[in-house]
Copies of this chain bind each other. A is one copy, B any other.
Amino acid sequence: MARWAPDSRGRLERAAWELFEANGFAATTVPEIAARAGLTTRTFFRHFADKREVLFVDGAMAAYAQQVIQDAPAELAPIEIVRHLLRRAAAEQFTGRDHVRRVRAIVATDPTLRERELGKRHELSGVTEAGLIARGADEVSARLLADLTVTVMYLAVDRWLGSPETGPELAAFVDEVLDAHAELHGDSGPDPAAGDPVR
């Protein structure tokens, strides 16, 4: 069986989740996951590099971001490509609060998962930076905007998860955070009449 079993990826994911939530992430092994899914360990490793990967629905986020940036309308300036990407991702990659909450709850229990998550953020930032440079951004802007993309994504998701189920969709929080970002320098500079004590 196994090899061409329908939806083997989905079955592995469901089995892994059930075991993670029942026994904890650390205590769950890949053979257990495979057995529960009625598949082989080898099949597991065709779909996931290791058991941590099962958790990162945004594992494909870097590839997704790369594609969206590449396909973004030609007239968009770099900052607007970022907004475009974040709004697309909000609509297409984060479809329900529940799943994101479950992932976060498990990641919080395990230091190796938290490290992996930081690695994922870094990867997303790197891909975004390269994509923005390919779209004509200068090096400094590309790096600033790439890290901003990751910051806004995580911050908007935090705020979305903390809001009522019937509240606004994630895209609204993306806009809120990006708009706050646009104001960072604008409304908070020191009073010019007072001189600038820093520089």
Q: By the criterion CB–CB under 8 Å, are B140 and A155 in contact?
A: yes
Q: By the criterion CB–CB under 8 Å, are B141 and A180 in contact?
A: yes
Which chain B positions have C-beta within 8 A of A84? 198
Interface 9-residue window, one of A6-14, A31-39, A53-61, A72-80: A72-80
Q: By the criterion CB–CB under 8 Å, are B122 and A184 in contact?
A: no
Which chain B positions have C-beta within 8 A of A75? 190-191, 194, 197
Closest residue to A158 on the B side, CB-wise? B143
- Which of B77, B87, B194 contacts A189, CB < 8 Å? B77
Most chain B beta-carbon contacts within 10 A, residue among A76, A145, A181, A184: A184
Q: By the criterion CB–CB under 8 Å, are B144 and A83 in contact?
A: no
Closest residue to A159 on the B side, CB-wise? B140
- A169: CB under 8 A from chain B? no
The quantity of this chain's copies bound in the complex is: 2
- A177: CB under 8 A from chain B? yes
Q: By the criterion CB–CB under 8 Å, are A190 and B80 in contact?
A: yes
- A151: CB under 8 A from chain B? yes
Contacting B at CB under 8 A, from A149-175, are 150-152, 155, 159, 175
- Chain B min CB distance to A38 (Å): 34
- Which of B145, B152, B188 contacts A184, CB < 8 Å? B145
Which chain B positions have C-beta within 8 A of A3? none
Which chain B positions have C-beta within 8 A of A177? 140, 144
Closest residue to A146 on the B side, CB-wise? B151
Interface residues of A (CB under 8 A from B): 73, 75-80, 83-84, 87, 115, 118-119, 121-122, 140-141, 143-145, 147-148, 150-152, 155, 159, 175-177, 180-182, 184-185, 188-191, 194, 196-199
Please name 4 further chain A to chain B contacts, defined as beta carbons within 8 Å, in addition to the given A78-B184, A79-B188, A140-B159, sorted by A numbering.
A77-B189, A79-B185, A80-B189, A143-B151
